[in-house]
């Protein structure tokens, strides 16, 4: 009897030990490895959800699913507020973040980043009839909307003399602009362009001038260099085998 009990205890221990050895990434009920990914689904064409559609779509979504596939992981995407993404990584609620997130030194103090996967930068959107604002310097003395926790928020504060309204999503910012609660929106160029060209926005225009040049990266918890390497290897593979270019062309047209 004692022997049997000892055996059962040993087996139970082995099961627990095995369950715990997958690193921070878990497994689903079928035993497949799962990569838990956080994203702020409010940033077309990188991450968005069409009305009545259940799947999240966009460049980032296609890219992370392809990376997961390459790594042999099922990808599970969680929609979180942009300013909650890095905290979610730190709390280990997600394994990785893909969200048009700019790689910068401040964030690097808290998370690891993959190699850059998209080159971006900030532009602004104003109303069609706007005369006073033609360049970033003209923002002084005006009200400007930005998404909270973004590089736009930081950059506009740095300009000085601007009244900054930090809202939850870019859509909230554009609404505020149309409702004349602000005179400009500062946001990432490809998102502004998509908003103007693809979503049929009227009464507003994007200006050409770029305030910054920024690279997007996939963020990973500071202590998970192992996952960072896996992601980088997969990204490299996708760049080599043409899969990255395919996804790029799907959302942005052929690369210039």
Q: Which residues of this chain interact with ligand ARG, rule CB under 6 A?
A: 40, 42-43, 47, 82, 99-102, 147, 150-151, 188, 214
Rounded Cα distance, 65 and 73, in Å: 9
Measured from the CB atom, the residue of 8 and 108 that comes closer to ligand ARG is 108
Measured from the CB atom, the residue of 210 and 237 that comes closer to ligand ARG is 210
Measured from the CB atom, the residue of 59 and 248 that comes closer to ligand ARG is 59
Helices (H), the chain: 2-19, 59-71, 85-90, 105-108, 151-159, 170-178, 189-197, 225-240, 243-252
Q: Which residue has the tokens 């920024």?
A: 214
**Nearest approach, Cβ of residue 144 and ligand ARG (Å):** 15
3-state secondary structure of 254: coil
Secondary element (H or E) of residue 122 = strand 122-127
Measured from the CB atom, the residue of 85 and 180 that comes closer to ligand ARG is 85
Q: Are strands 33-39 and 73-79 parallel, antiparallel or unpaired?
A: parallel
**Nearest approach, Cβ of residue 6 and ligand ARG (Å):** 53
3-state secondary structure of 238: helix
**Nearest approach, Cβ of residue 170 and ligand ARG (Å):** 6
Measured from the CB atom, the residue of 98 and 162 that comes closer to ligand ARG is 98
**Nearest approach, Cβ of residue 199 and ligand ARG (Å):** 15
Rounded Cα distance, 10 and 135, in Å: 70
Work out the widest C-alpha separation in the chain, in whole angstroms. 89
**Nearest approach, Cβ of residue 94 and ligand ARG (Å):** 14
């Amino acid at each position: 009897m004692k022997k049997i009990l000892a055996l059962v205890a040993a087996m139970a221990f082995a099961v627990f030990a095995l369950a715990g050895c997958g690193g921070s990434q878990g497994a689903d009920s079928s035993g497949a490895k799962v990569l838990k990914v956080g994203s702020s689904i409010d940033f077309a064409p990188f991450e968005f959800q069409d009305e009545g559609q259940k799947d999240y779509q966009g460049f980032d979504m296609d890219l992370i699913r392809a990376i997961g596939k390459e790594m042999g992981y099922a990808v599970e995407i969680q929609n979180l507020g942009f300013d909650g993404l890095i905290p979610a990584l730190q709390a280990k609620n997600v394994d990785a973040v893909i969200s048009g997130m700019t790689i910068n030194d401040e964030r690097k103090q808290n998370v690891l980043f993959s190699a850059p996967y998209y080159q971006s930068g900030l532009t602004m959107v104003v109303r069609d009839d706007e005369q006073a604002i033609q360049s970033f310097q003209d923002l002084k003395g005006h009200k400007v909307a930005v998404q909270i926790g973004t590089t736009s928020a930081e950059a506009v504060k740095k300009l000085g003399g601007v009244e900054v309204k930090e809202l939850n999503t870019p859509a909230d910012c554009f609404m505020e602009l149309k409702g004349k609660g602000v005179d400009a929106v500062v946001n990432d160029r490809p998102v502004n362009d998509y908003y103007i060209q693809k979503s049929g926005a009227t009464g507003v225009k994007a200006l050409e001038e770029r305030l910054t040049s920024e690279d997007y990266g996939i963020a990973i918890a500071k202590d998970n260099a192992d996952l960072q390497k896996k992601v980088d290897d997969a990204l490299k593979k996708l760049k080599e085998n043409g899969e990255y270019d395919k996804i790029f062309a799907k959302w942005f047209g052929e690369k210039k």
